[in-house]
């Protein structure tokens, strides 16, 4: 199984590329317009579903009505078909040739290299494909995409790297842009990587480096999200796991109450009270430490040969400036857990930025977090907040970006419970939560012919 790892780096520049970008934007829109006008809309029956609570009455009613349904995880999924207009984007070689000729007629009036047209065509298809996917998911309307941001996507026939210098063609044999990437701060980090794609903007250049990775070559990874009562993990082979750390909370509460009692005698007998308080604090710390030692040993034993990924909890405080006393105590414990675990197994820490908010399926930040559930407004994923965070931490630990492809390869195949309920308009085959492992054992069949 191949997975593509990608890294992007920016280089600031002060070349005047305004005219090139303006014209690129224009030819790109022209390409989108042309393809759009040639889209064929096919009417098709699509299968969809809604859910109703699992009750005997509902099951009876649905059988009586001859509906198709499945019972899974406390819910009944009722299927129905609806008519939809599905866009078929023309992409035959013949069509592409016509499109290219059409665009080239305009582009010839500029001095710029003709390869920019090929880049624009590729970008136009890429934009329309992603529009199509969103349209089928019910998120986008049947409306032609328009290009608003200023950029030019540059394919590899327009640049070359020689002796650590990136040379980018603007006007053939006349204008080149040169960048000494071997002087860039990131040069060490991209040894053995391939420069895949470049995006030219008015003041900066974005370089995308990619590398193929075999799965066997990857470490087995488990990502952990720390919470008040649980440590929530997601890992290779094992999927979602939950480990209780409620004991820590119990210890703190117990000693908090004990201290309150002693504080009452602080006026009467301050010396003795202070001595007792000190003793209690020490005992509390001992109990916490004992638990953490035992707990980390269990974790290291249960998940040997794993790289354990945690959020960098020092940075965590920057993003999450909670003044809550309980949380600060918990944060202190979490840091201790990570610190001790480092002695017992392999641990890495990642930047906690957006691990909660990011949709672990499509990578969108267009989400809501409410009542312990993250809802993605882009792809429709609904998922437990802690599971979502642990998947994001897991992906960061593997150096992967969330994407549908990654989700389908690495996440969907694991048991993520009844979460990950798909989007409107999903095809029946896409309905993963019903039958996550192809295992019929825990799925009640309610099909009525
Ligand atoms: Zn999403």
* pLDDT reported for residue 418: 39
- Mean pLDDT, residues 15-41: 96
- Look at residue 422 in the predicted model and tell me its pLDDT: 34
- pTM of the entire structure? 0.48
Written as six digits, the tokens of 41 are 């809309």
Percentage, residues of the chain above pLDDT 90? 49
Summarised one tens digit per residue, pLDDT across range 252-288 is 999 999 998 888 888 888 888 889 999 999 999 999 9
Give pLDDT, residue 434. 29
- The reported pLDDT for the residue numbered 431 is 30
Of 271 and 434, the structure prediction assigns the larger pLDDT to: 271
Q: How far is the CA of 362 from the centre of ligand 1 (A)?
A: 4
Asked if 110 contacts 21 with a C-beta cutoff of 8 angstroms, the reply is no
Q: Which residue has the higher pLDDT, 80 or 118?
A: 118
| C-alpha 355 to ligand 1 mean position (Å) | 13
Q: What separation in Å is there between the alpha carbon of 377 and the centre of ligand 1?
A: 7
For residue 45, pLDDT over 90 is answered with no
Angle at 331 between CA 327 and CA 333, to 5 degrees: 120
Most confident of 216-230, 345-359, 410-424, 433-447: 345-359
Q: How far is the CA of 404 from the centre of ligand 1 (A)?
A: 8
Per-residue model confidence (pLDDT) at position 192: 81
Query: How far is the centre of ligand 1, averaged over its atoms, from the C-alpha of 392 (Å)?
Result: 12
Interacting residues of 43 by C-beta distance below 8 A, sequence separation 6+? 83, 84, 85, 86
Residue 421: what are its φ and ψ, rounded to 5°? -65, 125
Please state the rounded mean pLDDT for residues 391-399.
Answer: 94
Distance 296 CA to ligand 1 centre (A): 33
Query: Mean of the pLDDT values across residues 85-112?
Result: 94
In sequence order, what E strands does 125-164 have?
Answer: 152-154, 159-162
438: left (phi over 0), alpha (psi -120 to 50) or beta: left
Confidence (pLDDT) at 206: 92
- 363 CA → ligand 1 middle, Å: 6
The predicted pLDDT at position 3 comes to: 62
Q: What is the CA(435)–ligand 1 centre distance, in A? A: 20
CA–centroid distance, residue 366 to ligand 1 (Å): 8
> pLDDT band at 119, cuts 50/70/90?
very high
Q: From ligand 1's centre to the CA of 90, what distance in Å?
A: 27
> Taking residues 332-353, what's their average pLDDT?
91
Question: For residue 5, how far is its CA from the centre of ligand 1 (angstroms)?
Answer: 20
Q: What tokens does 214 get?
A: 């075999």
Q: 202, 205, 203, 191: which is closest to 159 by C-alpha?
A: 205
Stretch among 33-37, 169-173, 433-437 having the lowest mean pLDDT:
433-437
Distance, CA 272 to ligand 1 centroid (Å)?
A: 59
For ligand 1, the distance from its centroid to the CA atom of residue 165, given in whole angstroms, is: 38
- Ligand 1 centroid to 76 CA: how many Å? 24
Residue 19 has pLDDT above 70, yes or no: yes
With cut-offs at 50, 70 and 90, classify the pLDDT of residue 152: very high
Distance (Å) from CA 359 to ligand 1 centroid: 5
Number of H helices, E strands in the chain: 10, 19
User: Which pLDDT score is estimated for 395?
Assistant: 95
**Ligand 1 centroid distance, CA of 210 (Å):** 23
Predicted pLDDT of residue 34? 97
pLDDT at residue 382 above 70? Answer: yes
Q: What is the chain's mean pLDDT, rounded?
A: 84
Least confident of 10-14, 230-234, 417-421, 445-449: 445-449
Tell me: the pLDDT tens digits for 197-219?
899 999 999 998 888 766 555 57
Distance 426 CA to ligand 1 centre (A): 14
CA distance 128 to 132: 6
Average pLDDT over residues 93-104: 96
**Once rounded to an integer, what is the mean pLDDT over residues 3-27?**
89
Give yes or no for residue 86 having a pLDDT over 50.
Answer: yes
Residue 8 has pLDDT above 90, yes or no: no
**In the prediction, which pLDDT does 419 show?**
41
pLDDT (average), residues 171-197: 87
Output the CA 302–ligand 1 centroid distance in Å: 31
Largest CA distance in the chain: 95
Average pLDDT on 147-173 reads 90
* Cα 422 to ligand 1 centre (Å): 10
pLDDT value at position 137?
Answer: 72
Average pLDDT over residues 347-351: 92
pLDDT (tens digit per residue) in 306-334: 999 999 887 655 455 455 677 778 888 99
Average pLDDT over residues 376-389: 91
DSSP 227-265: -SSEEEEEETTTEEEEEE-HHHHHHHHHHHHHHHHHHTT
**How high is the pLDDT of residue 449?**
26
CA of 36 to the centre of ligand 1 (A): 25
């Amino acid at each position: 199984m191949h997975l593509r790892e990608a890294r992007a780096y920016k280089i600031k520049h002060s070349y005047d590329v305004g005219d090139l970008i303006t014209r690129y934007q224009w030819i790109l829109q022209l390409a989108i317009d042309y393809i759009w006008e040639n889209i064929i809309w096919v009417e098709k029956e699509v299968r969809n579903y809604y859910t109703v609570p699992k009750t005997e009455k509902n099951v009876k009613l649905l059988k009586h009505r001859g509906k198709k349904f499945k019972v899974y995880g406390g819910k009944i999924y009722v299927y129905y078909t609806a008519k939809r207009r599905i866009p078929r984007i023309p992409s035959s070689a013949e069509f592409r040739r016509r499109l290219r000729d059409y665009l080239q007629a305009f582009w010839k009036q500029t001095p710029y290299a003709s390869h920019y047209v090929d880049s624009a065509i590729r970008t136009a298809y890429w934009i329309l494909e992603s529009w199509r996917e969103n349209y089928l998911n019910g998120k986008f309307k049947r409306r032609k995409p328009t290009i608003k941001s200023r950029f030019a996507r540059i394919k590899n026939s327009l640049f070359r790297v020689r002796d650590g210098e990136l040379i980018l063609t603007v006007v053939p044999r006349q204008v080149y842009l040169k960048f000494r990437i071997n002087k860039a701060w990131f040069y060490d980090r991209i040894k053995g990587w391939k420069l895949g794609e470049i995006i030219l903007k008015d003041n900066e250049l974005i370089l995308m480096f990619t590398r193929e990775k075999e799965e066997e070559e990857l470490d087995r990874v488990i990502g952990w999200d720390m919470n008040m009562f649980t440590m929530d993990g997601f890992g290779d082979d094992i999927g979602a796991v939950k480990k209780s750390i409620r004991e820590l909370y119990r210890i703190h509460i117990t000693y908090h109450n004990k201290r309150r009692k002693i504080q009452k005698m602080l006026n009467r007998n301050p010396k003795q009270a202070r001595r007792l308080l000190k003793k209690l604090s020490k005992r509390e710390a001992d109990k916490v430490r004992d638990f953490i030692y035992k707990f980390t040993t269990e974790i290291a034993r249960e998940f040997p040969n794993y790289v354990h990924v945690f959020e960098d909890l020092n940075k965590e405080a920057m993003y999450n400036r909670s003044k809550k006393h309980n949380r600060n105590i918990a944060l202190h414990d979490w840091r201790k857990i990570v610190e001790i675990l480092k002695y017992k197994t392999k641990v890495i820490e990642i930047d906690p930025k957006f691990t909660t908010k990011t949709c672990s399926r499509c990578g969108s930040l267009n989400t809501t977090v409410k009542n312990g559930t993250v809802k993605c407004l882009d792809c429709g994923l609904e998922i437990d907040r802690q599971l979502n965070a642990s998947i994001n931490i897991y992906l960061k630990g593997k150096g992967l970006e969330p994407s549908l492809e990654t989700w389908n390869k690495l996440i969907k195949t694991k048991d993520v419970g009844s979460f990950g309920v798909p989007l409107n308009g999903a095809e029946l085959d896409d309905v993963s939560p019903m039958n996550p492992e192809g295992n019929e054992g825990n799925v009640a069949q309610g099909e009525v012919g």
